[in-house]
Every structure is written in structure tokens, then in C-alpha cells.
Structure 1
């Protein structure tokens, strides 16, 4: 009996030892993989645009803030010719992220993360050219952006709408610097660019050449062929306050710069990037002021593409369970409730969009003021601009009290406003230093004259 027990125990030991060893190996492997996953660094490529444009520096701001907030996410920013090339690279999975104009033909592999900022069509013409409308470009020479850029494609959509053929005028594609040289030298009669309102590039061009803005006044009709386009205005005084440039609200066409991602990127990574975009917006605005306009993509202004599931998970983070999609087990009575709640939700969405639009308007005004502050030449002019800043702040406080803007938009505005105050203080120091230098020079000249006498 005892002999049988010893045999049985020996067999059990022989069986248990390999099992125990296998368990240790599996636990070690699992723990090692878990540790590796926690320490793993994810590298993504973000394709943007030309370094002289807005997409490349905006992409750099995203990359900087993302790695600050999550060192495991490293984004490599790549310069490209523009939106069409970015779509191609996204399709080939040569890039995982892309900044693209939302009127660019989409590829099936692309998914949306967020709307970044608004851009408007700028048609700048020489005052001597006699061009007063898009139709007047016939027989003229126009400088365009590089082929493959969103700006290049947008021009042809506009020109075709006005009945112009490529043979009706001369067009020269190239970089911003190349186009500016052609326009400034008088070789080109016009220059077309798609840029955010208040762009420093446009401001420089208008203030250093005899150029003027021409309206593009049939945006609603152009939208029929380009459904992602929007009718918009360049507000009076956007590029100069006195005399105002433009001298009236100028009709034009608007698009949105949108952040896209390849459909195969891990939803956890995309959710983290989306979180940083919205919850660390102050950091982004500090790096690039256009980040003040980042928003959740809407169906009316975006691509005909779904939102990436990772981004959608972030947008739905506070969504109540009872608003989930209807299932077959919900009764008829709950269907009516769901319809009613859906209607209320749409009203709320419109209300929030209206609040955001109003806040964006104030942000654009502040950006314009910042440009004017940087160019202020006297203390009196600087004082007037600071008074305008405080007047705008009073308006925003009033709108916040009356729920015309929400708290998130207010916080975004205050950061931009405080930045303007800091720039004003820096400008005041510069003017004071210039004044001291001028005073010293006058004193030296007086001393020299006395010595000569």
C-alpha cells in the first residue's frame, strides 16, 4: 500500500514540476510583454505642407505638445507640397497623420481626428492690373502655389466656376517666396493663396506691394460643386486698421484645415492625441495661435469620412448611456423619448457651435490687434490699441454672462488676450528704448554744435 502511495506521489511530482516550470515561463513572458508595452515608444509621421505656409509650423506645434504630455508618442513632422500629396502618402501608409484642406478628394484609408482652423481664399491683384473680379483674370498672369497643394486645386475650382479656361491666362505654380517675387516685381498681375484670415504672409504682401484684395462673391454657387466649401467674409480692417484693409467686409470662400489619421492606427493612440489637442489647447496656442480654433469635426463642414474610433471614443467620453444607439429591445415608448432627446441634442449642438463661432470671431479680432500692436510706432497708438483690447474683453465678459460663449471658449480667448497684453508691454519697452536712444542722440548733437560754436 505504502509502495503504491510512493509511486503515485512520484508520478504526481513528475507531472507537477513541468507544469510549475511552464507557469513560471508564461507568467514571466506575460510580465515582460506588459512591461514592454508600458515602455514602448510609438513613432508616427505627420505630413503637412511647405515650411513657409501654415501647416508645417502647426504640425511642429502638435508634435512638441504631444511629446511634452506623453513622451511615448513621438511625431515626425514632414514637409510636403500640400494636401494632395498628403492624401497619397496617407493612402500608401507612408504617413500615419496628415493635415489636409477639407475640399481635397479623400482616400478610403483616411479617418478624421479634428478640425484645426479655418482658411479663406485670398485673391490679391496689382492696383495697376485693372482686375476687379475673378473674371478679369483673363489675359493676365497669376502666381499659384505648387501643384499638388490644396491652394492650387482650389484656384482651378474657382476659375472654372467663373468660366475661365487654363488657356485664358498665364499661371505659374511655385512656393510662397517665388510667387511673392513675381508679384512684387510686376511679372505677375495676381497671386492666389488659401490662408487663415489675418495671415502675416498676406499682411506683409499687402503692406509692401501695391496690391489689393479682390472679392470672390459667388461662394454659395461654388459650394454646389465643392460641398465642403463655405461662404465667408474677410472682415473690414483685417490686414490694416487705418486706412482699413480691406475697406469693407470682403466676400470670399472658406475651407477647414483638418487633421486626418490612417484607419489602422491604434485607437488608444488616436484617443490620446485627441485628448491632448483639446485638453492641452493652451499649450498649443502658446506654440501656434491658430490652435485656438481647434474643434470637433462636424458633418456639415468636413470630409465624407468617418471619425476615427479613437477620436470618437474621446468625444463620447461623457456621453450618457441612455443616448447610445437604439437597440431592438427598446419599446415604442422609449423610441419617442429618444427622438425627443435627439432633437434637444441637435439644438444644443447648434447652440454650442454658435458660441464657438462667436468666440472664434473674437480670437480673430485679437490676432488682428496683435499684428497692429507689433507695428505700433507711437505710445498714443499703442494706448489706443490697448484700450481696444480692454473693450473687447468687456464684450466677451458680457457674452459669457449671457451664455453667448461657453467657458471653454472663454478660457481659450483669455489666453490669446493675455498674449496680446504681453506683446503690447514688450512693444512699449521697445518704443521707450527707441525714445531714449533718440533723446541721447539729440543731446550728443547739441553738445557737438556747442563745441563747434
Structure 2
């Protein structure tokens, strides 16, 4: 009688175990499709989102991220709340929603107010009565402009403004139809450099960042360093006061913590790959600074950040007492060691910059295309070494940012020198060909 009951129970157990094992296997093989909302293709968020998607899928083929365009931070936040996207890049001065969670702080951005020289605009207050080009409504830049104008006592009726793309804004600026452009961009942005070098435009200071932070705590008083957009003559010609914000990667609260932890792990463990895909990746960091969003960190990301966090107090209460007693003696030594380490990082970064400046001088004096090729190869060798040093903390992210500006300048100068030498070679070949033809005709 017992056997009659035991057999069905055993069979049911086997079936349940098999079903559980099959489901576990299927879950491990499942490909997760995610959508990342960024910004316009002409901005910084979209290409950075593509870099994230590329690196994540390279390291874990079961995670596939589709990058989509948007009008910017406010739209991205709405999409996160509506569960239309699982991931989004948002500025930290954007009003948060209850479902949004922070994954990582990505990179710094600063407010850029670019005006035409003939406009007479010297500060933000001078915008009254002028025409201004803004980004599309709903973007972080659009929202940031109204924060600035409100702080300086300006109302919407005090000036005319046009909202649209960067390309539209630059065309209007070049034709003189607008007096100013406002954008929030990483310092050293190529689009700003091109605009300043190809028009009679200049940067205007926004010098009350600390005061603005009183009402908007996520803003930071910041500067655009001297020479950011041109070295000689320097543009700007002195450190220019501005306001800084942080671009952050967000995830929806309901996104599987295991998936978020894996994405976070890849972004930090393979930061070198991210930097190779997009140099802004050098600034990625754990959220939690003074400029962070007033949003909780996603539990999956927090699990990564806490991965090596031990229950130290409970397990080492006796040892803690010993460490406290000798802590004062060690503090001075550690401080000196830290200072030496930071100085060593700076010295190494300075050496790379000096090497680049030396190569720039050689490029300008190059007489042959073969010499240009050799110098360009040296530039890329230096860049590869700097990425390795960044990953191994031999230089810091700020020094890397300064280096990339100098390196990109050298690459552009090399390209221009190569073009000039090719033109000279072409003309020389044409002259020789004409001379040969003339001689043949005389014969």
C-alpha cells in the first residue's frame, strides 16, 4: 500500500526538480533586451550611450542595450517613470521621480554662454533685449537656462529665444540672427571649440554658481580652465567662472538588481574599454558626492559598490581598539604619502603633456609625409600609455582630461600638416610633369 503512494510522490518530485532545473538553465541563457534613453545624436549623451551599450554587450552578450534619441533629461525622466525605457542619462539638476534610481555618476558638464562680440553682452544680465538660441524644451540645457535667468532676475518676456538643435543654433549665430547660445556641455567640447574658432564668438562668465546652489543644491560653482578651447591665444584667456552639473546613469526601480549589478560591474571593471570608446568614460564614478541626484542608488548598483564591504566592526572589535590607539601616529605619515602620490600623478601627467608639446613642434617642422606618419604613431603610443596609466591610477581623471585636449590639438595639427605636405607634393608633381611634357615637345 505504501509503495502505491511513494511512486507518485517520487515521480512528482523528479518532475518538479526537472522543471526547476530547466527554468534555471533557460534563465541563464536568456538574452535581456534593454533600452537606454540619451539625447540628440549631435549631443554628448547619445554617443556616450552607444559606448556604454558597446562595452556592456562585449563583456556580456546576454545584455543588449538599444540606444535611442530623446530631447534630453526631462523626457528621459518621464520615460523612466512610465517604464518606457529601463535606463536613461539625466543631468543631476533634473526633478526626479519615485521610480528612478541612480546607477553611476558619468561625467561633469558646465554651463556655456557663448555670445557674439558685436552683441555687447558681458554678463548674464546683459541678455535682456537680446535673441538667444536654446536647446529643445525638455532638455537639461533648456531647464538649466531658466534656472540661470531666474537667478539673475530675468523673465521670459525680457528677451527672445529660439529652441532647437545645435546645428540650427550655430547657423543662426553665424548669420547674426541670434546674439547668444546657451548649452550645458562637458568642458573642452569639440562643438564649442569649432564654433569659437569659426565665428566671432566668445564665452561669458556665469559667476554666481555658489549663490545659485543655495536654492538648487545639485549645482556646483565651477570654472572653464584657461586655454580649454584654444591654447595660443588662450580661449578663454583666464579661468572662466561657470556652473557645473553631473550627468548620471539612471535605471528604473523594477529593473532586475542582478542585471543592474552586472552593468555596473562592467562599467567600472572595464573602464579602460569605455574610455577607448568615449574619452568621457574616464570620469565615471560611484554616486554619492555633493552634486548627486536626490535619488536612492539602485539596489543592484549598491550591491556592486558594497561587494567587498565586510562586517568589520563585529568581527574585529578588539583590533579596532588597537587601530584607534595608533591611528594618530599613522595619520601624519599617510597624509605625506598621499601628497607624494598625488604629486607623482601630476608629474607623470605633466611629462605626457610636455612630450605632446614637443611632438607638436616636430610636426610643425616636418618636411615629409613619412615623418608625419612616424609622429602620429608616437602620438597614439603616448595615448595608449596614458589610458593604461589612467586605469592603473598612475594619473587621475582631471589630468587625463587636460591631456586629451593637448593630444587632440596635436592630432589636428598633424592632420593639417599632412594635408599641406600632400598639397605641396601634388603641386611639385604637376610642375615636374609639365616640365617633362615641355621638354618632350621641344625634342
Q: How much has 1:299 moved relative to structure 2?
A: 3.3
Unmatched runs of 5 consecutive residues or more in structure 1? 1-10
2:233 counterpart of 1:248: no
Summarize the Cα distance change of 1:142–1:451 in structure 2 as closer, same or farther, 3 Å threshold. Answer: farther
Among candidates 421, 429, 433, match of residue 440 of structure 1 = 429
The aligned residue for residue 181 of structure 2 is 191
Q: Report the more deviating stretch, 442-451 or 194-203.
A: 442-451
The aligned residue for residue 67 of structure 1 is 57
Q: TM-score, normalised by structure 2?
A: 0.81
Q: How much has 1:237 moved relative to structure 2?
A: 1.2
Q: Secondary structure at the match of 2:393?
A: helix
Question: Structure 2 matches for 1:402-417, cutoff 5 A?
Answer: 407-408=392-393, 410=395
Among candidates 11, 18, 29, match of residue 21 of structure 1 = 11
Q: TM-score, normalised by structure 1?
A: 0.79
Question: Structure 2 matches for 1:231-310, cutoff 5 A?
Answer: 231-310=221-300
In 2, the alpha carbon distance for the partners of 1:141 and 1:425 equals 35
Equivalent residues of 1:119, 1:256 under 8 A apart: yes
2:105 counterpart of 1:120: no
Q: How much has 1:308 moved relative to structure 2?
A: 1.1
The aligned residue for residue 76 of structure 2 is 86
The aligned residue for residue 56 of structure 1 is 46
Q: Report the more deviating stretch, 12-21 or 83-92.
A: 12-21
Unmatched runs of 5 consecutive residues or more in structure 2? none
Q: How much has 1:316 moved relative to structure 2?
A: 1.5
The number of aligned residues is 413
Summarize the Cα distance change of 1:426–1:70 in structure 2 as closer, same or farther, 3 Å threshold. Answer: farther
Q: Report the more deviating stretch, 294-303 or 117-126.
A: 294-303
Equivalent residues of 2:349, 2:400 under 8 A apart: no
In 2, the alpha carbon distance for the partners of 1:119 and 1:362 equals 22
Equivalent residues of 1:377, 1:431 under 8 A apart: no
Q: How much has 1:286 moved relative to structure 2?
A: 1.5
Equivalent residues of 2:115, 2:201 under 8 A apart: yes
Q: How much has 1:30 moved relative to structure 2?
A: 1.0
Summarize the Cα distance change of 1:20–1:421 in structure 2 as closer, same or farther, 3 Å threshold. Answer: farther
Q: Secondary structure at the match of 2:250?
A: strand
Summarize the Cα distance change of 1:50–1:449 in structure 2 as closer, same or farther, 3 Å threshold. Answer: same
Q: Secondary structure at the match of 1:410?
A: coil
Summarize the Cα distance change of 1:222–1:425 in structure 2 as closer, same or farther, 3 Å threshold. Answer: closer
Q: How much has 1:407 moved relative to structure 2?
A: 3.5
Q: How much has 1:320 moved relative to structure 2?
A: 2.9
- Output the aligned Cα RMSD: 4.1
1:175-195 CA-to-partner distances (Å, cap 9, x unmatched) read 111111111111000010000
2:167 counterpart of 1:177: yes
In 2, the alpha carbon distance for the partners of 1:433 and 1:420 equals 21
Question: Structure 2 matches for 1:3-402, cutoff 5 A?
Answer: 11-322=1-312, 379=366
In 2, the alpha carbon distance for the partners of 1:280 and 1:406 equals 9
1:265-285 CA-to-partner distances (Å, cap 9, x unmatched) read 111111110111111111111
1:248-267 CA-to-partner distances (Å, cap 9, x unmatched) read 11111111110011111111
Q: How much has 1:306 moved relative to structure 2?
A: 1.5
Equivalent residues of 2:272, 2:391 under 8 A apart: no
In 2, the alpha carbon distance for the partners of 1:215 and 1:176 equals 20
Q: How much has 1:297 moved relative to structure 2?
A: 1.3
In 1, the alpha carbon distance for the partners of 2:47 and 2:391 equals 28
Larger Rg over CA atoms: 1
Summarize the Cα distance change of 1:451–1:240 in structure 2 as closer, same or farther, 3 Å threshold. Answer: farther
